[in-house]
Structure 1
Amino acid sequence: MAAAYLEAAGYRILERNYRCPFGEIDIIAQEGDTLVFVEVKSRRSENYGLPQLAVGPEKQRRISKISLFYLQSHRLEPSDVRFDVVAILLRPKNPSIELIKDAFELAYGR
């Protein structure tokens, strides 16, 4: 669902469920000249908060490590890189999807 949404928005999907020693990122895509690392979060309701709120500081650090590993292992210049989040609410009668571009910056630290 998220990949189809991104493709319709003009993204070119490069990887799905990319795994490395630091973990997994849901989607790696290209939008224009920008390499985009996309985390997808979904919820069936808002009882536990909005899906995008699950991408907290620890998750951001993990995604940052994965992105740096990807750039290094693919010998890509650290040019334009962005971190997006796709938030999906799977309500039975009214599902919704939201793209949050530039959701966070490269996160370092513990």
Structure 2
Amino acid sequence: MIMVIETLQGLGRWGEDLAVQFLRTKGYRILERNYKNKIGEIDIVASDEKNFCFIEVKTRRSLAYGQPYESVTYHKQMKIARVAFAYLKHRFGKVDVNARFDVISIIRDGLGRARIEHIPHAFDLP
């Protein structure tokens, strides 16, 4: 059981590292990785030319359980939004800034190759 958990954690970390590289090649500035507060965690906080981007990264080895982005449920979206609001309030003292919620979906095949799908504006503010 421990070995499975370590493998899943390793896959998640690999996916987040790949997502950061991908975002940097697209011109994003990475502000935080694995930002945590008492509410929860956001995988990546980044900025493009116009927005703060709160990004959830989902990585899978197959489509047996559906697309990775499909696991970002409404409940998970609301939790990410609450963490993001707390981040903005803590960092800037306000929440009325340009922000969006993205998902990066990664499928890693048996050869270690990845298919990356970036979904900007994956969900809206509550």
Q: Does the TM-score normalized on the shorter chain lie above 0.5?
A: yes
Which 4+ residue blocks in structure 1 deviate beyond 3 angstroms?
Answer: none
Map 1:1-110; keep pairs closer than 5 Å: 1-75=18-92, 77=94, 78-93=96-111, 94-107=113-126
More helix per residue: 1 or 2?
2
Q: Which structure has the bigger radius of gyration?
A: 2
TM-score, structure 1 normalization: 0.93
Deviation at 1:76, TM superposition (A): 5.0
RMSD after superposition: 1.1
Alignment length (residue pairs): 107
TM-score, structure 2 normalization: 0.81
Structure 2 residue runs of 5 or longer lacking an equivalent are: 1-17
Structure 1 residue runs of 5 or longer lacking an equivalent are: none
**3-state DSSP class of the match of 1:106?**
coil
Q: Deviations over 1:8-45 (max 9, x none)?
A: 11110000000001100000000002100000001100
Higher relative contact order (CA 8 A, sep 6+): 1
More strand per residue: 1 or 2?
1
